[in-house]
Amino acid sequence: MLCRFHRILRGDRLKAILGASSFTRNFRPSSGLDMRLVQFVEEGGVFPRVGVELSEGGDVVDLSACDITFPREMTGFLRGGAELLESAKTAAVSGKNIVKRDGIKIQAPVTRPDKVLCVGQNYKDHCEEQGAPIPTEPVIFSKFSSCIIGPGDDILYPDVSDAIDWEVELVIVIGKAGKNIKESEAMDHVIGYTVGHDVSARDWQLQKNAGQWLLGKTMDTFCPIGPVLVTKDELPDPHKLGIRCRVNGQTMQNSNTDQLIFKTETLVSFISRFVTLVPGDIILTGTPPGVGVFRKPNPIYLKRGDVVECEIDGIGTLTNKIV
Ligand code: ZN
């Protein structure tokens, strides 16, 4: 009998023969896969593992301890499709192989994805704050995946800027590959959501480098995500969630994802007209009002020592310090 890992290898070979679309067309996650997935390392450990958080901020089921053939990082786990998700669900309810929260370090739920896509000007109330017109199609930009960090990791204050700003965002995580995805089928390609912080150097984003946003958005450590990847079955409505950002305990952003102009289905469909989405890709969906650059009478920017908390109801709080 083939172990799960060998079945995955066989699936990869099949995918190579048939092409990604033929392979992924058969992946239909069953309903009821409500889970809070994390990547973690044990104290003193080096290699990450994938786990299932039993409650928000609670203990974690170590999937690798349940089955040593489980992929040890999230993108590999997601490529395993419905079969691995169902195995994880079974492991999560087994009551076995639980590691205590205080003995582990939670990492970003996805590290080194193929693509980090971002959406600009995607909250109605944020457009009103800037006096900007509501976009008629999504404004897409990107970050390099190398700038992803996890909860509790430090955001490095760069030497090249003195205008560092906060942006809390709902993050879509892709679970199934696709190109030219119809809006009606977009949710089949989404595994779930996490919290993101689109750290931004406003001088480099808005004033320098001929208007290219890239450098101002992708400096090292400028993409904290986490603490957990909540599967879509766990969230009754991702477009009706309180979303907040606090700096040193003071609320700076306080809105709701019902203010999103382009929602998950539209974003996934629109982006996939241009690029093939693959498991692990993340889409930061834009930020609500209250960012530092538009503060009156003067902008407020982050400084070393500041602690930023990004929070979305039903997902969790992502906390990072500027150093
Ligand atoms: Zn943003």
Q: Digits of tens for pLDDT over the chain (323 positions)?
A: 334 444 443 444 333 333 333 333 333 334 578 999 999 999 888 889 999 999 999 999 999 998 888 999 999 999 999 999 999 999 999 889 999 999 999 999 999 999 999 999 999 988 888 888 999 999 999 999 999 999 999 999 999 999 999 999 999 999 999 999 999 999 999 999 999 999 999 999 999 999 899 999 999 999 999 999 999 999 989 999 999 999 999 999 999 999 999 999 999 999 999 999 999 999 999 999 999 999 999 999 999 999 999 999 999 999 999 99
The whole-angstrom separation of Cα 140 and Cα 160 is 24
Query: Which residues, other chains included, contact 9 with Cβ-Cβ below 8 Å and sequence gap of 6+?
Result: none
The conformation of residue 300, written as its DSSP 8-state character, comes to -
Q: Determine the distance separating the centroid of ligand 1 and the alpha carbon of 12, expressed in angstroms.
A: 35
Predicted pLDDT at 131: 86
Domains and CATH numbers, the chain: 29-107 (no CATH), 116-322 (3.90.850.10)
Q: Determine the distance separating the centroid of ligand 1 and the alpha carbon of 44, expressed in angstroms.
A: 34
Q: Determine the distance separating the centroid of ligand 1 and the alpha carbon of 162, expressed in angstroms.
A: 18
5-30: b (≥16 Cβ within 10 Å) or e:
eeebeebeeebeeeeeeebbeebebe
Q: Determine the distance separating the centroid of ligand 1 and the alpha carbon of 182, expressed in angstroms.
A: 25
Predicted pLDDT at 129: 82
Q: Determine the distance separating the centroid of ligand 1 and the alpha carbon of 104, expressed in angstroms.
A: 30
Q: Determine the distance separating the centroid of ligand 1 and the alpha carbon of 142, expressed in angstroms.
A: 10
Q: Determine the distance separating the centroid of ligand 1 and the alpha carbon of 105, expressed in angstroms.
A: 26
Q: Determine the distance separating the centroid of ligand 1 and the alpha carbon of 99, expressed in angstroms.
A: 34
Statement: the pTM of the whole predicted model exceeds 0.95: no
